[in-house]
Chain A
Amino acid sequence: MCSLCGVLGGNEHWADAVARPGVYTRNVERIDRRRERANRVRIANAMLARFGLTISDWQGASFVLSTRTGKSEIIEDLGHLWPAAERLCGRPCDPLDPTLIVAAEVAIDD
């Protein structure tokens, strides 16, 4: 159970699968897990910047998602990231939004 928010045995998210035979996961060794979390924060921040949001690791257990004014929410895993992001920024985070895609494509070309 998460002692902070009281969530009992959260749902296993596919990107954080429990290590067992045959399963691909980076959730095995402590170092791997921490590295994956750091990487996730870095890449998610690049994406979230488009919505004026930032994310940071919290104690290697949760993530804190914040707006520029400091409004924050704690999330467990990627499964909670986007619903929380939409709540905080007040608009849909749609990867198929043409404006968003064009902006990213321009950035790639630069």
Chain B
Amino acid sequence: MTEPQVPLLTPINLLTGFLGSGKTTLLARLLADPALSDAAVLINEFGEVGLDHHLVERIDDTMVLLQSGCLCCTVRGELADAIKDLHSKRERGLVPPFRRIVVESTGLADPFPVLSTIKSDSVLRHHFRPGNVITTVDAVNGLSQLGTYVESNRQAAVADRLVITKVDLAPAGDVVSLVEKLRGINPDAPLLTATDPSFDVADLVDENLSLRAAALQSSSGFYCEAPVQLTTAEGAVHQSAVTSFVMTVERAIDWTAFGIWLTMLLNRHGEKVLRVKGILNIAGEERPVAIHGVQHLVHTPVHMERWPDEDRRSRIVFIVDGLDVGLLKRSFEAFALDRSPAEAAAVPKRSLQERQSSS
């Protein structure tokens, strides 16, 4: 049997980054690459001239221009319509059978609404799934943007892949500080350099969880044990304090208690929890479970094949905007671990799903 032409759930990648950070340049490069030859592209026409539209080439008839400027406010409906339109055309054979969609957002957009659109639209969620969020950060201006603009921080925080652009134009010292800063905001997203000769476009869209798990696992992977506070260009503490930290949990986590705690946290503070991602040792499960959430939205948990190494502790990375890290840790300890006496029989050693998959 030949490989099906269209994946069951088509991934949608979001390409974001601050104004002038090189999104369009990167997109043009992505589109020229064979790894993305089967991608449809949605770009966001910001301003009357639709400058981005003139710069992006080779996307011909699979491209839809979003008309209403900023993705963050008005486009939810339009984005959903645009994707549905593409889906419909693909089904009818009017466009080539694309296997991926790349959405380029405007520099000022908060990436979250795009992800929630994919997840909440009743048609889209059966045909599409969120792929990697790719964020470009400009080596020349990135550091000051991160220190000044909340949007810039949020974009870096939600990224699955961080791409540093214009490295050739920036002094080496600046690049080092930028990398440090990015690591403070987003500790485990692979950091790629666009000008690096080994830069491979396929790495951007590759969703291999082991990459992420590896970053979480490596001892030097914990870039952010000490909370990082943002300061403005003038040195004052920034009003928005994007902080990331890793929580390591020794004992196995009760899935139910964790779910109740996390939904409670996200209900009250979802907008401030930019990212929560982790590899969990769930009580009664031999294999780890990966969770991944962006603000109010938690992706479907993934049952990973195996533990990357001997370490069986759960590790959860939180990227929060202005939440008290100390309180969050105490809250987790107090509520997210099931301490009530459960009947031993109530929780099976292995779930039926596992038993079936191993038989």
Residues of A within 8 A of B (CB): 9, 11-12, 14-15, 17, 19, 22-26, 28-29, 31-32, 35-36, 38-40, 42-44, 46-47, 78-79, 81-83, 86, 92-96, 98, 101, 104-105, 108
Contacts and interface: CB of A to CB of B under 8 A. Distances in A.
B195 interface: no
- Most chain A CB within a 10 A radius of its CB, from B122, B339, B340, B353: B353
Chain B: number of interface residues, binned into ranges: 35 or more
Given A105-B333, A105-B334, 10 more contacts: A11-B120, A14-B300, A14-B301, A78-B260, A79-B263, A81-B263, A81-B264, A92-B268, A93-B267, A95-B331
B300 A17 contact: yes
Contacts of B285: 24
Contacts of B46: none
B103 to A, nearest CB: 21
Interface string B313-336: 000000000011001101101110
B194 interface: no
B352 A98 contact: no
Interface stretch (B106-114, B148-156, B249-257): B249-257
9 contacts: A12-B125, A25-B300, A35-B347, A39-B256, A42-B340, A95-B265, A96-B328, A96-B331, A101-B331
B301 A43 contact: no
Contacts of A95: 261, 264-265, 268, 331, 335
Main secondary structure of the interface of A (DSSP, over half): helix
Interface in B261-279: 261, 263-265, 267-269
Contacts of B333: 105
B41 interface: no
Interface in B118-132: 119-120, 122, 125
A40 B342 CA distance: 12
A83 B267 contact: yes
Contacts of B342: 39, 42
Contacts of B259: 14-15, 40, 78
A47 B256 contact: no
Contact of B327 (A35, A39, A79, A98): A98
A78 B263 CA distance: 7
B346 interface: yes
B298 to A, nearest CB: 4
B338 A43 contact: yes
B27 interface: no
A48 to B, nearest CB: 9
- Most chain B CB within a 10 A radius of its CB, from A26, A47, A104: A26
